[in-house]
A and B are shown apart, each in its own frame.
Chain A
Amino acid sequence: MASSQHFIAWNRFGYGPDPSGLNTLGEDPIQFLRNQLENPRPPSLLASKTGIKKAENYLNHIKEFGAGSDEVGKRRLKLEYGRFVRDLSEARIKSDQPLIERLIAFWSNHFTVSVTNKTYLLGLLRDYQYTAIRSHVTGNFVDMLIAVAQHPAMLSYLDNINSFGPNSRAGKLTGRGLNENLAREILELHTMSVDGGYSQNDVLEFAKIITGWSLTTRQKQQIMEFDFHNFRHEPGPKKFLGRTIQEGGINEGLTALRMLAEHPATARHLATKMAIHFVSDDPPESLIRKLEDAYLQSGGNLKAMTLALIEAEESWEEPLAKVKSTPEFVLSAYRATGYKPSQREILSAFKALDYRPFRAGSPKGFPDQSENWATPTTIMKRMEWAMELSGRLSITTNPYNQAKELLGSTMEDATKFVIRGAESGSQGIALMLMSPEFQKR
């Protein structure tokens, strides 16, 4: 029978096994994960600029006619959103590199972009996910950070496109000034974290440093792209984190982002967050230290950091340390049952379980702690959904045998007892999906 290490490799570092069970990863769970990091294949999900074109058209309409007037454009964007969520979900359900998919989900949530109230962002999500996040999950953090900070989705979401140096040419002309939003969130959420040791003045200076980081509209291609607008950029030297950054246009921002990526507070923040996301709500200090060291010693390399994570013994204890988030639960349920959901089914599953992809309430993203995913209303809805899903399956195997394949030695006596006593095949599968061993990872 598969070991608890197999269970952990699939669930803590993936979206669970498919119906063939835990053993398919081979003898060595750590090697299974290591291989994924060594050979991350080009993602099957192709980047598409079409969404961006649609977003651009929509944005122009807003400028011209006021928001919401272009109902057709809005509808097109919603369709694109639906397809994107489907593509992403299918990639995760089918992937044979589940660790890579989980890393993408983790970093994408770290650098949250939420489309709430900014409909045109719907068309940018695919490109954002592809170019800014996906390409860098086994690369260097600084490259991801720069790609994110220069992506139209993030620049729009956190309002840097509306930030003007008060003493820049454009600022003086229009009387417009700084918008600190992006600068603040990069410091607080993406890098050093709120206790990382920066001051209010650092926020202000950093906001000045990235004035002019905005978008260009190349009318011919109708594509939104990053562009640096010097006429919006605040002139003069800036004092950031105790260092003077001389006037240097776009290079000021690049220098500041590199300083942030190298900062020990960033290493600490990322290490803590990763340990909490993957391993435990209250991770041991020794684990955080290992991730932190790997980050610092490798010059901020995320492959090195992930390797440290999967090689740490702390990562292989307590197979049921955390309650799965809703997307983890839904996608792992589709994987486990082998059910092939349609686009409509995927979207309505998320909706029914109150998970709204790319619509997090704040730039903090979706929460990582179990308490957020094990609320009374969530548990009730998971039960309802588990019943609905299992009702749609054609069940050919005994649910208990299936549970043994999927849960292995982790399965507790109470769970065995209950699944064995199920009154029907579909109830048995629903019970398996609701078992602690399936709800947790």
Chain B
Amino acid sequence: MTRPKTGLSRRHFCQNGLQMGLILPLAFSGLPQIAFANAPVNKRLVVVFLRGGLDGLSTVVPYGDPHYRSMRGNLALKENDESLIAVSDFFAFNSQLRGLAGLYNQGEVAVIHAAASPFNTRSHFYAQDLLENGTDKPNSLKTGWLNRTIGILGGNNDNTLGISLGPSQQLSMRGEAKVTSWSPSRLNPVGDNFLNRVAMMYKNEPLLDSALEAAIGNRAMTEGMKSQISNNAGQSFIEMMKATAGFLKQPNGPRIAAIDFHGFDTHIRQQNGAYPTLPRLLKSLDEGIVQYRQQTPIDIWEQTVVYVVTEFGRTVKPNGTGGTDHGTASMAMVIGGKIQGGQVVTQWPGLAHNRLFEGRDLAATTDLRSVSSSLLHSHFDIPRQDIDQIILPGSFNLNSVEIF
């Protein structure tokens, strides 16, 4: 697929502007199109990182496990008070996930339960690093698995396939391939007139120039987009998901997005009490994904996978402050128009005390990287060899997860 270039490139324009001694580009109306040309990929991927460690046992609840109630104590959710939406005789969605439960029943959501990264010290720091660098050792690579995926897919300077949503660029998106970044602004937008003048000063400054060029590209794509700024993590996640849908539906826009949702480190008042944390977070997660789907045209939704991950799970038993502490396995969710959803993929380890990891955590039976690896292979047609050697080093022997 090729696309004719429309207009002059900004670089071209600026150089001429200066060489020819034109006074200033005042007469130039509208910004030139930024090249997201020749996108070789139609598939979309949105990686939602639930930071802090999601309590998988309260999200997709193994209410059929005979030890569920006794082990979870005051955190156990009850079938009869509408706090659960059963999807089988074993698993139920937390009732805050009404939209996702509906999509599950339509076959658009798959849950991978008792999944974790291959190396866990119960440290946020390490676990997040690991998940983002794509290896099985924290701090072993300074680039991210999504950036390396973009490299394999052919993302380059003329073809920005990645977008990092939020104020700081995630490690998963760092690396050699050029990616753009966007977050809503509290300030008034600047005019093209000012932008063009700044661009002229950056022509010999590769780092600033490429950032500006990408920012101008974002502007074109966010035209007409109204993003509410919120200090509330849940609300701002919903807004960011809507914006992400706006970016990813552009014909020549980015294809892979990374977005963070903070606040899942529920050490206190997780479920009960005056202002419990988890129900609100899950409700926003649900709303964000439902909104994303609503704002995505159906043909694009069919090319899309939303992959929801977290760095680790939480203790099976509640702690002394109405919450849970850092644990091991949690769950991941895969959502999309063409996935083989409507299933909870798991080798359920069980909640009996002697089945717990180190006597406290849900044991991990699925390496999260096997989900990522299957996703890359089946969704993007990336050869196993590239996945094993470049994107997720050392993942070759992992089983594939047949949901894509």
Contact = CB atoms under 8 A, between A and B. Distances in A.
Contacts of B11: none
A166 B10 CA distance: 65
Contacts of B187: 352, 381, 384-385, 388
Given A66-B321, A421-B24, A436-B204, 11 more contacts: A68-B269, A352-B186, A377-B167, A387-B188, A412-B201, A412-B204, A414-B18, A414-B204, A417-B200, A436-B205, A440-B205
B197 A323 contact: no
A201 interface: no
B148 to A, nearest CB: 16
A376 to B, nearest CB: 4
A427 B26 CA distance: 14
Interface stretch (B175-183, B292-300, B378-386): B175-183
The 7 tightest CB contacts between A and B, nearest first, are: A354-B167, A384-B187, A376-B214, A376-B215, A380-B215, A379-B211, A375-B181
Contacts of B181: 375-378
Contacts of B125: 362-364
Contacts of B212: 376, 379
A311 B121 CA distance: 43
Contacts of A422: 197
Contacts of B200: 414, 417-418
Interface in B179-206: 180-183, 185-190, 193-195, 197-198, 200-205
A393 interface: no
Nearest to B26: A423
Nearest to A414: B201
A67 B269 contact: yes
B74 to A, nearest CB: 14
B198 A383 contact: yes
B59 interface: no
B8 interface: no
A422 B269 CA distance: 56
Nearest to A69: B274
A319 to B, nearest CB: 13
Contact of A436 (B190, B202, B268, B321): B202
Contacts of A184: 123
Contact of A427 (B194, B202, B322): B194
Q: Chain A: interface residue count, which band?
A: 35 or more
Contacts of A417: 18, 200
Contacts of A20: none
Nearest to A439: B208
A170 interface: no
A439 B200 CA distance: 15
Interface stretch (A89-97, A137-145, A284-292, A366-374): A366-374
B327 to A, nearest CB: 16
Interface in B229-274: 265, 268-269, 273-274
Contacts of B123: 181, 184
Given A66-B268, A387-B194, A374 B124 contact: no
Contacts of A427: 194, 197
Nearest to A430: B194
Which of B182, B197, B265 has the largest count of A CB atoms less than 10 A from its CB?
Answer: B197
Given A377-B181, A387-B188, A417-B18, A434 B201 contact: yes
B39 to A, nearest CB: 18
Which of A364, A383, A431 has the largest count of B CB atoms less than 10 A from its CB?
Answer: A383
A181 B326 CA distance: 13
B218 interface: yes
A361 interface: yes
Given A363-B125, A371-B207, A376-B211, A352 B201 contact: no
B185 A352 contact: yes
Nearest to B202: A436
B347 interface: no
B400 interface: no
Q: Chain B: interface residue count, which band?
A: 35 or more
Contacts of B190: 380, 383-384, 387
Chain A binding surface SS class: helix
Contact of A384 (B189, B197, B321): B189
23 contacts: A67-B269, A181-B123, A371-B207, A372-B168, A375-B164, A375-B211, A377-B181, A377-B183, A377-B215, A377-B218, A379-B208, A379-B215, A383-B194, A414-B18, A417-B18, A418-B200, A422-B197, A423-B24, A423-B193, A427-B194, A430-B194, A436-B202, A440-B205
A410 to B, nearest CB: 13
Contacts of B214: 376
A84 B218 CA distance: 36
B169 interface: yes
A160 to B, nearest CB: 15
Contacts of B188: 384, 387-388
Nearest to B174: A371
A245 interface: no
Nearest to A417: B18
A2 interface: no
Contacts of B124: 362
B27 interface: no
B23 interface: yes
A374 B210 CA distance: 9
A436 B208 contact: yes
B381 to A, nearest CB: 29
B228 interface: no
Contacts of A430: 194
A415 to B, nearest CB: 5
Interface string B7-51: 000000000001000011010000000000000000000000000
Interface string A71-99: 00000000000000000000000000000
A415 B208 CA distance: 14
B399 interface: no
A253 B393 CA distance: 39
Nearest to B193: A423
A150 interface: no
A435 interface: yes
A378 B168 CA distance: 9
B94 to A, nearest CB: 22
Contacts of B208: 323, 374, 379, 436, 439-440
B88 interface: no
B185 A414 contact: no
Which of B168, B183, B193, B203 has the largest count of A CB atoms less than 10 A from its CB?
Answer: B168
A114 to B, nearest CB: 12
A352 B187 CA distance: 7
A350 to B, nearest CB: 11
Contacts of A378: 181, 211
Given A67-B268, A67-B269, A434-B198, A376 B218 contact: yes
Interface in A312-359: 323, 348, 351-352, 354
Nearest to B322: A66
A354 B168 contact: yes
A252 to B, nearest CB: 24
A244 interface: no
Nearest to A370: B207
B106 interface: no
Contacts of B273: 66
B365 interface: no
Contacts of A67: 268-269
Contact of B197 (A374, A381, A431): A431
Contacts of A146: none
B262 to A, nearest CB: 9
A291 to B, nearest CB: 23
A371 B168 CA distance: 11
Interface in B303-338: 321-322
